[in-house]
Amino acid sequence: MGGNSNSMAKKKQSESKAAASTAVEGLRAEVLEQPITETLEVNYMPYAMSVIVSRAIPEIDGFKPSHRKLLYTMYKMNLLTGSRTKSANIVGQTMRLNPHGDAAIYETMVRLSKGYEALLTPFIDSKGNFGKVYSRDMAYAASRYTEAKLSDICGEIFRDIDKDTVDFADNYDGSVKEPVLLPTSFPNVLVSANTGIAVGMASQICGFNLNEVCETTINYLKDPEYDIMQSLIAPDYPTGGELIYNASEIEEIYRSGRGSFKVRAKWRYLKTDNIIEIYEIPYTTTVEAIMDKVAELVKTGKIKEISDMRDETDLGGLKLAIDLKRGTDPDKLMQKLMRATPLCDSCSCNFNILIAGNPRVMGIREILDEWIAWRTECVRRRVYFELTKKRDKLHLLNGLKKILLDIDRAISIIRGTELEAEVVPNLMIGFGIDRIQAEFVAEIKLRNINKEYILKRVEETEQLEKDVADLEDILNTPRRVKKIITDELRDVIKKYPSPRRTSIIYSDEIGEPDIEDEVENYPVTLFLSREGYFKKITPQSLRMSSEQKYKENDGPMQEFEAENKDELLIFTDKQQVYKVRVSDFEDSKASVLGVFLASQLEMDEGENVICMLNPGDYSSHILLFFANGKAARIELSAYATKTNRKRLTGAYSDKSPLVCILPLTEEREIAVFSTEGRALVFNTALLAPKASRTTIGVALMNVKSKHSLERAMYVEDSPIKNIARYRAKSIPVTGALLRDEDREEKQMSLMD
């Protein structure tokens, strides 16, 4: 028996092993036979889609889900109007919507904060150490040490969110609702810089200036053919720097949503200490990366002009100090560093945005189209919500109005009804009202059953009827919806002024440092004729003979004093400006014709000189007057360059012929004349300065189709005697007809 039992056990064990082995082999065969495409589809694709849709790519409101969950939690915590609270408290509350751990939530919070300086319009008003976007090693403090609340601009982010403007969905466990999108009243998707790496795709959206984006959207709403580049000049970053502007690159980014451009650091030279201070760097780099690269160049001997470099960043902001060796040219050194270090860095753009759950790479126009369509739906939903509320209230008051006809009868019906459940049906029968109206009447307090109370309520019906009609008209009139969006955008511009932080430097100004010999400096007087002949005459030569020689039918156009080392800007009628030094020209005499600038500067065929001016230190402005009646006030710094570029293209707008240029060192009055025989006098304070050279300007003088702006001059140089008659307090204006006594011809000179 025992032997048989053991042999049977061994037999069963052997059969069990064989069966297990067969099962494993079958499983291996099954796994090996599964196609890789099926594995990817079943296991990998759901993960990839989750990362794309629910994590890495921003949506049309400009937020990723993590941003939206955090901000909405803070909104529900009353941190828009309330005081700051500990960041740890916010992080803990956010985990009800975003179960990805406190570290991930706090990192999201840091990026959105004012202290971190990663956004042009930060959404979190922070207190404490939140680190800096431009520092790799400056760590933010733990959440238990810092405090935060929502910044004021979040009032525009959550505008009317409680009025059914957006859809709400369940959170991950279905315990609370959260918004699918936030009803931003401005195109935050373009304002807030955003970077996300998904699976198989990425998104990199550069930030734009808030005011420029709102202004562009307003103009685009008015005219779908509007040239976006007129107001949306270029990207803007919170870390400042100088954007090297190449019109074709920016135009390609605006068109396709893809491309790149360069941003370089800003610096200044302290001559007394022989130190270069770098105070703004590209958004894409850090101070540590820059210092590491400079140290490497010094160590390898590629840079020999630097004796020391240190980080002097403090509460005043970023500052990198470079000690120079004696005799070092700071301009040449910085040119080397810009080429060899991240002080000049490329910024890539990939405007990949989720639209209705689908990722799309879009240009600026497409993004604005999508945002306007989405914002239009938000406004319509809000209007419909308000309309429904007012209709319901009007319906109740109409029922109350019927009770007014016989209050005693209503009381009698209520008193004569034996059962409480029959009060409402009896009122419905007695006055011909529906159940909702009857319920409202039945709930009125005893103290309010008087004529005065009921009459006051009934008086509201007239206003409610007007409001209902107005709201219905808004829903049926797309033009009125657009006006609401436009008005809200104007409110944003007014309430949150946002000057540009990243300045513009044109790519044609970038070149090798100018290696120039020492030239003698002495005073000279410069003369320019109407046909473009130039003379540089010393004071001694001018004293000997002051009578200038000109060709037949030629004459003086400009005359002013300068120094031999000064720079000159020579503007032409081909939207170009030539940069020359006075020392480039030989001293001349009054008795000769002078140098023909078109030949000397190798101008294009048919190109003529319009104006010559001395920019000085490039701190003042110039006024440009166009034939269509517009004028532009441009900062001379837009033409400044530390390189030896001789010709700058795109010197001014080509939308209308340029009539006149006047330098402006202080606010003063200008006289403008049209071919119609009209004139106006205005103060230059009415014109806001622009940093863009190609701005089309603002309307100054209303000119009829057959006429144009003819000339402009300082009022003291004009023949006008009765200035008050032509003075304008605001622009644009048509101007007043010239009187005979104000038409006297007068010799003009352009003073620097």
Taking only the tens place, the pLDDT of each residue in 145-163 is: 999 999 999 999 999 999 9
454 compared with 278, residue with greater pLDDT: 278
What is the rounded distance in angstroms from the CA atom of residue 141 to the CA atom of residue 109?
A: 12
Residue 486 predicted with pLDDT over 90 = yes
Indicate if the pLDDT at residue 552 is higher than 80.
yes
Provide the pLDDT for residue 25. Answer: 55
Confidence bin at 752 (pLDDT 50/70/90): very low
> Under CATH, what is the fold of the domain 370-495?
Topoisomerase; domain 3 (1.10.268)
658, 695, 664, 666: which is closest to 571 by C-alpha?
A: 658
The single residue listed with the structure tokens 């160049």 is: 297
Per-residue pLDDT tens digits for 698-709: 999 999 888 999
- Domain positions in the chain are 2-33, 63-183, 266-342, 370-495, 519-742
Q: Is the pLDDT of residue 644 over 70?
A: no
pLDDT digits (tens, 9 = 90+) for 329-369: 899 899 889 989 999 999 999 999 999 888 999 999 999 99
Of 395-399, 675-679, 684-688, the poorest mean pLDDT is in 395-399
- Print burial letters for 727-737: b (CB count within 10 Å at least 16), e (below 16): bbeebbbebbe
Mean pLDDT in residue range 737-745 = 80
665, pLDDT greater than 80: yes
**Position 11 pLDDT exceeds 60:** no
- 164: how many CB neighbours lie within 10 A of its CB? 16
pLDDT (average), residues 158-187:
93
Q: Is 694 exposed, middle or buried (0-12, 13-18, 19+ CB in 10 A)?
A: buried
Least confident range from 266-270, 347-351, 731-735: namely 731-735
Q: DSSP for 22-72?
A: HHHHHHHHHHHHS-HHHHIIIIIHHHHHHHIIIIIS-BTTS--HHHHHHHH
| pLDDT score, position 7 | 53
Cβ-based neighbour number of residue 280 at 10 Å: 22
Instruction: Give the whole-angstrom CA distance, residue 720 versus residue 280.
Output: 48
Per-residue model confidence (pLDDT) at position 469: 93
* pLDDT computed for residue 26 by the predictor: 52
pLDDT at 56: 80
**Is a pLDDT exceeding 70 seen at residue 287?**
yes
Q: What percent of the chain has pLDDT over 90?
A: 50
The yes-or-no answer on residue 145 being catalytic is yes
Report d(CA 626, CA 434) in Å as an integer: 69
Q: Taking the CB of residue 92, how many other CB atoms lie within 10 A of it?
A: 14
Residue 10, pLDDT score: 53
Torsion of the alpha carbons at 206, 212, 215 and 216, rounded to the nearest 10: -50
Asked if residue 139 lies in contact with residue 116, where contact means CB atoms within 8 angstroms, the answer is no
- Per-residue pLDDT band for 452 (boundaries 50, 70, 90) equals confident
Cα of 336 vs its chain's centroid, Å = 31
* Choice among 91-95, 116-120, 508-512, 605-609 with the minimum mean pLDDT: 508-512
385 neighbors 163 (Cβ within 8 angstroms): yes
What are the strands, taking DSSP E only, across 573-688? 576-581, 595-596, 609-613, 621-626, 630-635, 647-649, 658-664, 669-674, 678-683
pLDDT at res. 2: 46
Q: Which amino acid is at 473?
A: D
Mean pLDDT, residues 420-445 taken together: 83
How high is the pLDDT of residue 13?
56
What is the DSSP track for 423-438?
Answer: HHHHHHHHHT--HHHH
pLDDT of residue 745: 55
Q: Is the pLDDT of residue 515 over 50?
A: no
Q: What is the pLDDT of residues 76-86, one digit of tens each?
A: 999 999 899 99
Residue 690: the pLDDT is: 87
CATH architecture, range 63-183: Alpha-Beta Complex (3.90)
pLDDT at 399: 82
What was the pLDDT predicted at 456? 76
More confident: 422 or 491? 491
Check whether 437 has a pLDDT greater than 90.
no
**pLDDT score at 1:** 45
223: CB partners within 8 A, 6+ apart: none
Q: What is the pLDDT of residue 227?
A: 92
Q: Taking residues 314-334, what's their average pLDDT?
A: 90
Answer yes or no: is pLDDT of 3 > 90: no
> What's the chain's average pLDDT?
87
What would the pLDDT profile of 461-473 be if each residue is shown by its tens digit?
888 989 999 999 9
CATH tag for 519-742 (out of 3.40.50.2300, 2.120.10.90, 3.40.50.300, 2.30.30.40) = 2.120.10.90
Q: Exactly one of 44, 47, 145, 172 is catalytic; which is it?
A: 145
Confidence category of residue 746, pLDDT binned at 50, 70, 90: very low
pLDDT exceeds cutoff 60 at 318? yes
What span, in angstroms and rounded, lies between the C-alpha atoms of 66 and 562?
A: 61
pLDDT at 709: 92
pLDDT, mean of residues 288-293: 94
Look at residue 178 and tell me whether its pLDDT is greater than 80.
Answer: yes
pLDDT bracket for residue 748 (50, 70, 90) = very low
Highest mean pLDDT among 30-39, 122-131, 571-580, 685-694: 122-131
Q: What is the pLDDT of residue 17?
A: 56
CATH architecture entry for 266-342: 2-Layer Sandwich (3.30)
